[in-house]
Chain A
Amino acid sequence: MRLITHNMLQCHVKNCNDNNFPLRLEEVEVELIEADFQPEFLQNIVGKLEWPAFVNTAVQLGNTSLPATIPDNAKDNEEFLKVLHSALLETHVQQGKMVCPNCSHVYPIKDGIPNMLLAEHEI
């Protein structure tokens, strides 16, 4: 699971509606896997991210290279796009768990696959 996917996942336990994003990463194994740098893609996707959640998650994983806000010149700022690329697309969470900050529900991550399934009574 790349961090871009983590940025898209939200707790969906029944009646858990507030403060349920982003899911907190715990006991994770992270792997850095090189990927082709594609500035155009990054320029398009950056607006679809929940930026503060993304920055906080990167910091949880020890990556402090991202700025607190998206720079005004993001589209032409190659240095920014490179740190974004590395955090968003090259950082893979292979094992661990995601914990809802509100209801503490645990979603496991195994072999790079997050499991968002809930038991019948939790839906």
Chain B
Amino acid sequence: MIPTPDLSHLNSKDFRNIYEPAEDTFLLLDALEQDQDELRALHPSICLELGSGSGCVTTFLGSLLKPSLAYMVTTDINPHAAIATMATGRKNGISIDTVETSLVQGLLPRMRHSIDVLCFNPPYAVTPSSEIAGNGIEVSWAGGIDGREVIDATLPFVKELLSEKGIFYLLLVSDNKPDEVVRLLQEDGFNAHICLQRLAGREKQLIVKVTRRT
């Protein structure tokens, strides 16, 4: 068992500004845990998470890979989330560097084809498109039409970022038309399949696992 990250340094006031880990976060942790042997055998040197929020996912991944060390780096457009991610890493003994940015702006071209593990729990909720702009807590969930606008903006970067051996874990909900996302990734030359799914209330949440076709 890999311990769920200790988030006791964050309180309800922090969670007014950053996304509090919930069922979706834990589904992503479970997908990583399910693949723990594969992830350790991969010996990743760079792990990137987009929109890391509290930092729960990257901290968990860093713990899973221990005693091996990888360069753990995350981005978030929300400054509160960037601070929280660093703090969660510190609290749990995982060194994480966080960049305050939108998705991967500023990280390319340097990170081209060098990400061994890429994680993204995107803003997936169906909302009016106008709610996507901003840098507060609303950007942690507002996904626009079909909840897909930020997801679709991110997909072209996957090809840029993933290393030859890289794995991408993407959380989606049924509103996002996951089969269509899988097909888009396959058309882009990737292996993509749903590796884990679960009902959270009325919402079906799932994890798409993506690798380069060999």
Contacts and interface: CB of A to CB of B under 8 A. Distances in A.
For the complex of A and B, the 3 pairs showing the least CB-CB separation, nearest first, are: A116-B106, A116-B101, A5-B97
Contact of B110 (A2, A10, A36, A38): A10
A106 B16 CA distance: 30
B100 A35 contact: no
A44 interface: yes
A113 B82 contact: yes
Interface size class, chain A:
20 to 34
Q: Which secondary structure dominates where chain B touches chain A?
A: loop
Interface in B113-162: 114, 135
Contacts of B135: 117
A107 B45 CA distance: 26
Interface string B71-89: 1010001010011001000
Interface string A1-32: 11011011111100000000100000000000
B158 to A, nearest CB: 17
B110 A50 contact: yes
A12 B108 CA distance: 8
A112 B101 contact: no
B101 A115 contact: yes
Contacts of A38: 68-69
A114 interface: yes
A41 B100 contact: no
B9 to A, nearest CB: 15
B98 A113 contact: yes
B107 interface: yes
Given A41-B70, A44-B45, A111-B83, A116 B95 contact: no
Interface in A23-63: 35-36, 38, 40-41, 44-45, 48, 50
A118 interface: yes
Given A4-B97, A114-B99, A9 B86 contact: no
Interface of A: 1-2, 4-5, 7-12, 21, 35-36, 38, 40-41, 44-45, 48, 50, 89, 107, 111-118, 123
Contact of B45 (A35, A41, A113, A123): A41
Nearest to A41: B69
B110 A9 contact: yes
A40 B82 CA distance: 28
A36 B73 contact: no
B68 A113 contact: no
Nearest to B106: A116
A4 B73 CA distance: 10
B102 interface: yes
Given A8-B107, A48-B46, A35 B86 contact: no
Given A48-B46, A113-B98, A9 B69 contact: no
A10 B82 contact: no
A89 B95 contact: yes
